[in-house]
Amino acid sequence: MKPILQNLVEMTGQRDHLRLEISVLSTLQKLSGITQVRALEMFTINDVPQVRPRTWQGASDWISNDEEAAKDPHREPLAHYPALHACVSERTAHAQARIGKGRYTLWLPVWMHDKATTCLEISQSRPFSAHRLDVITGIFNVYQNYQSLLDYSERDALTGLYNRKTFDEQFSRHASYRPPATQLTELPQADCHEDVADGPRQQWLAVVDIDHFKQVNDRFGHLYGDEVLILLANILRSSFRTHDRIFRFGGEEFVVLLRSTSLDVAHKVFNRFRLAVQEYPFPQVGQVTVSIGFVGTALGLPVEILGQADQALYYAKEHGRNQVCFYDDLIASGDLVTQVAHDDVELF
């Protein structure tokens, strides 16, 4: 029992979802007779539920696949796992099945906000005894509760989007990523590829700001202002892929990190979102628009990248609002001639 308790202490000391996931997987793997543990990711493509391995133990390290799930060649329809499929549809706590000779597998979906996007998979060579199930579900419940707490601390209470603190952590980690000394390997991220027809793919950072939001509050009151923020967060969620990251930065400002795509697509996606907002009938308030400034994240410190997107945003605000401005275009055209050292924005 002592090693398990020590592992639980270690597990609940994590402040990062991936490390927490690896921690629970290694705790489970230490139970005698376990032959394999993995974390699976569950998602849908065209309404068809899919599953793919996300984190597993490699020859010496834990491997975590951070690539876009929909493009993973190892993804399979969830229907290939009938026991897990039924478990998710019926919302039962766990499912097990015999997978071939001498291999028994247990699946435990992780439920959060009424959705299960992660599932732990544990295999051993014998059927799972009642005692073994008790031990595993005990560890799993601690993990799931802690996962919810971690998730709660990362989100903005009004919109449910990630908060600024989470952005600071995730973005600085992205910008300075080096595999840590602990046993963790992330598969290489698609940060800047030359392999698509419409230009190099990289990550883009956009700052989104509601136009004249003060007038919304002043004319309709704070409650309607809050409702606009909630509805805008919903439009953000439905406009970007699950692999992209959306943050509420504070007030009426949001940040979107668009993963691994070309400049052309980034323009289209941000404009599609801008139009979706413009066309949305906000109850009582009517029409709301947003201005957007964006920049690639391949070069520069996080604070510089954010400063550049902010500059492009302020240019959009100063020149008519309800538009998307790309920082590099403004620099190339001479409309913006400035460098930002820190958070402050200078326009010339």
Q: Where are the beta strands (DSSP E) in 46-156?
A: 48-57, 62-64, 76-77, 95-98, 104-112, 115-124
**Region binding ligand GTP by CB under 6 A among candidate stretches 84-92, 164-172, 204-212, 325-333:** 204-212
Q: Which is nearer to ligand GTP, 136 or 216 (CB)?
A: 216
Angstrom distances, CA of residue 111 to CA of 18, 36, 116, 238? 16, 22, 4, 21
293 binds ligand GTP (CB under 6 A): no
Active site residue 186: no
* Residue 225 in the binding site for ligand GTP (CB under 6 A): yes
Q: Which is nearer to ligand GTP, 214 or 241 (CB)?
A: 214
Q: How does DSSP classify residue 125? A: S
Positions of E strands within 101-224: 104-112, 115-124, 184-186, 192-193, 201-210
Stretch that binds ligand GTP, among 27-35, 93-101, 220-228, 234-242 (CB under 6 A): 220-228
Least distance CB 169 / ligand GTP (angstroms): 22
Q: How far is the CB of 229 from ligand GTP (least distance, A)?
A: 6
Give, as one character, the DSSP assignment of residue 281.
Answer: -
Catalytic hit among 67, 227, 252, 304: 252
The one among 30, 71, 113, 222 contacting ligand GTP by CB under 6 A: 222
In sequence order, the β-bridge partners of residue 42 are: 51
Comparing CB distances to ligand GTP, the nearer of 72 and 226 is 226
Residue 216: left if φ>0, alpha if ψ -120 to 50, beta else—which one?
Answer: alpha
Which lies closer to ligand GTP via its Cβ, residue 88 or residue 229?
A: 229
The two tokens of residue 193 are 């590829």
Q: Which segment (81-89, 173-181, 184-192, 207-215) binds ligand GTP by CB under 6 A?
A: 207-215
**In angstroms, rounded to a whole number, what is the distance separating the alpha carbons of residues 292 and 254?**
9
CA distance 133 to 279: 52
- Residue 77 or 251: which CB sits closer to ligand GTP? 251
Active site residues: 252
User: Footprint of ligand GTP on this chain (CB under 6 A)?
Assistant: 158, 209-214, 217, 222, 225-226, 229, 251-252, 317, 321
